[in-house]
A and B are shown apart, each in its own frame.
Chain A
Amino acid sequence: MEIYLDNAATTPVRSEVMTAMQPYFSKKYGNPSSMHRQGLLANAAISEAREKISKVLNCDSKEIIFTSGGTESVNLAIKGVAFAKGRGHIITQKTEHHAVLKTCEWLEKKGFAVTYLDVDEFGLVNPTDVKNAIRTDTILVTVMYANNELGTIQPISEIGKICKEKGVLFHTDACQAAGYLNLDVERLDVDLMTINGSKIYGPKGSGLLFVKQGTKIEPGLHGGGQEFGLRSGTENVPSIVGFASALELAQKEKASENENLSGLRGKLVFGLLKIPNARLNGHPTKRLPNNVNISFSGVEGESILLKLNELGIFASTGSACSAKDIKPSHVLLAIGLSHELAHGSIRFSLGRTTTKKDVAYVLKVLPKIISELRGMSPIE
């Protein structure tokens, strides 16, 4: 038995998406830049994908730059603006994904100034703080749409409005939001927006950057001039086709999907909070419908995770001990969680295949795991 509750990390590719991609590996394999029929077929597929996505984003198809995923799009947006301007000040906030934070830190070394705004106890950025942080030399504001660990949804359109008034470019990383929230770029008032495919049941290694017409950014990759000169390299046709299909489906189904997920999530949270000394992290309502982030005092997240793994339940942790990192989650520390509680955090991110039975099973086994680990823990 496998219960996959790590959909914020990545999702499986759904069958409709697989079917859409299939012809573009060995049948319609041309290089979209070629003038022969094979090339034209591939080129048409990309145009169609771009068209589909532009409808979802309510933008022009020329405003969509396909990339290899979220990290590349974020790098292209931030470095693209920074290099186009040459110098200046960037505003971001403390719970961003490392793709944003590490890029900003690197730009600081290159002479750019960066402000990292604080968030409140739920992980929310205050738009007034953004307004107050804008300086005469501010070139870019970058704030994520929804947080990957907490699911907290930021007031993007409010921040967008402020940036517009002040004449500052605004980028949002919408990777976690794309399957659940409205992506209308007009409504959100964004100049740049990052989305990827691997969180919305599309292929890994697919992504896009929306670049509003007239926004000057430097290319990320130089070469053959693909993607309007901003991202050279032969297009990954099957991936682009799959990504467009996934995004279209996710947006079409989001109302019913969100309702279903919120219901299951509610049951899971209700049950988990019955465990003594459990704390729900993140915002009670302004959060993605599939996200649960919970801390248990006196136990360590990796131990919980691996005990769950043994029972076929796959989750994730903000603990320092999660495999490759030794520091606890910067997101959990930013919302003011103690190190101990940050170490004892578990994230369950539900998905399309999650059932009531799955939730019931987690609630059946987790209390025992927590009490076992607490029993052998020398701290309270």
Chain B
Amino acid sequence: MKEKWFYSETVKEHFFNPKNVLKTETDVKAFEKKADAVGQVGSPVCGDVMKVWIVVKDGKIADCKWQTFGCASAIASTSIMSEMVKGMKLEDAMKIRPQDIVKKLGGLPEQKIHCSVLGDQALRAAIKNYQNEKAR
């Protein structure tokens, strides 16, 4: 039903039923106790802010939760990324790029990619945060 929806069906699914999202301030507070690291990118000026929390176990991402201020593709891209990285080794997660997320989403309009797919950057920021904490 292309005429009823601007993006792909996968984007629709993740926009309306986001996975692993922290839906409230209470959710955030609860998960922050478990999380090993957090990363944030973007700015309200640009219209997109992503925040990603990770739980690390044996060098792998055991859990990944997030919050997003942004458009449908920003929400959907962070959502699908949080599914992609679960169980992934940190070094592999570091290699995730916007095009990997876009592919999983079944494509995005060209002009949306650079502004709304920032989840991978937030994830890398979280992983670096984790590694820095560990190195201390």
A, B from the same assembly = yes
Interface residues of A (CB under 8 A from B): 298-303, 306-307, 309-310, 319-321, 323-326, 328, 338-340, 343, 372, 375-379
Residues of A contacting B49 with CB < 8 Å? 377-379
Q: Is the CB of A376 within 8 A of B18?
A: yes
Q: Is the CB of A323 within 8 A of B6?
A: yes
Residue in contact with B47 in the complex, picked from A306, A310, A324, A343, CB distance below 8 Å: A343
Q: What are 30 A-B residue pairs whose CB atoms fall within 8 Å in the complex?
A: A300-B69, A300-B71, A303-B72, A306-B6, A307-B16, A319-B71, A320-B46, A320-B115, A321-B47, A321-B72, A321-B74, A321-B112, A324-B111, A326-B111, A326-B115, A339-B46, A340-B45, A340-B47, A343-B44, A372-B23, A376-B68, A377-B49, A377-B67, A377-B69, A378-B40, A378-B49, A378-B50, A378-B67, A379-B49, A379-B69
Known: A319-B71, A326-B115, A378-B68. 19 other contacts (CB 8 A): A298-B69, A300-B47, A300-B74, A303-B70, A303-B75, A309-B5, A325-B111, A339-B45, A343-B44, A375-B23, A375-B24, A376-B22, A376-B23, A377-B67, A377-B68, A378-B40, A378-B51, A378-B69, A379-B44
Q: Is the interface of B mostly helix, strand, loop or mixed?
A: mixed
Contact A328 B47, CB 8 Å, known A306-B15, A323-B6:
yes
Q: Is the interface of A mostly helix, strand, loop or mixed?
A: loop
Residue in contact with A321 in the complex, picked from B51, B67, B116, CB distance below 8 Å: B116
- Give Cα A309–Cα B25 distance, bound, in whole angstroms: 27
Q: Is the CB of B45 within 8 A of A321?
A: no
Interface string of B70-84 (1 = CB under 8 A from A): 111111000000000
Residue in contact with A340 in the complex, picked from B18, B23, B44, B111, CB distance below 8 Å: B44
